[in-house]
Amino acid sequence: MRWFRWKKLWFKKIIEPMEVDVLRYSGGKRDTLGLFLIDKKFQAYTLEDEYRTVKEYGETRIPEGRYEIKLRTEGGFHQRYLKKFGDDFHHGMIEICNVPKFTYVLIHIGNDEDDTAGCLLLGFTVNSNKVKGKKGWLGNSTDAYKMVYPIIRDELLSNRKVFINIKSISL
């Protein structure tokens, strides 16, 4: 909360958290496709691992729910992205926190389920995962990441809370 002064009165301005939504719309045998929205506005497509009733490391999508997002400033991804994008742009990996039975769930660049181990990938184009023998695929992933990252980064750096809501709309 921030304090403001108006005509000799102090009051708190309640700052609502930023809301990010992932709306899953297609579950395939190897992956799950979705829509990525920030404050109800479409930003990109998502790809993550498939649904499993029993979690398998690196092969299971994030459970539905609401999770806080923070910046993670350690680990291999952080170092690679720091080198790739520079410290003007990159201030930490976007991490989805407190996911039951998961650790280090990140939002990052990638094209298909081989590029994720339980994380969320972003892209501007998508190929269906419903075509027999084909897996889902995201295109222009780096461009999507470079558009979405600063929006979330800047809110977190200004101390605004950010939450992600993950749900299925039809599978």
Query: What's the confidence (pLDDT) of residue 134?
Result: 77
Q: Give me the DSSP letters along 41-95.
A: EEEEEEEEEPP-SS--TTSSPPPSEEEEEEEE--SHHHHHHHHHH-TTT-SSEEE
Q: How far apart are CA 116 and CA 31, in angstroms?
A: 10
User: What confidence category does residue 53 fall into, taking pLDDT thresholds of 50, 70 and 90?
Assistant: confident
pLDDT digits (tens, 9 = 90+) for 3-45: 555 555 555 567 899 999 999 999 888 899 999 999 999 999 9
Phi, psi of 32 (to 5 degrees): -135, 135
User: What confidence category does residue 87 fall into, taking pLDDT thresholds of 50, 70 and 90?
Assistant: very high
User: What confidence category does residue 55 fall into, taking pLDDT thresholds of 50, 70 and 90?
Assistant: confident
Question: What's the sign of the alpha-carbon dihedral 116, 165, 29, 138?
Answer: negative
Mean pLDDT value across the chain: 90
Q: How far apart are CA 75 and CA 89, in angstroms?
A: 17
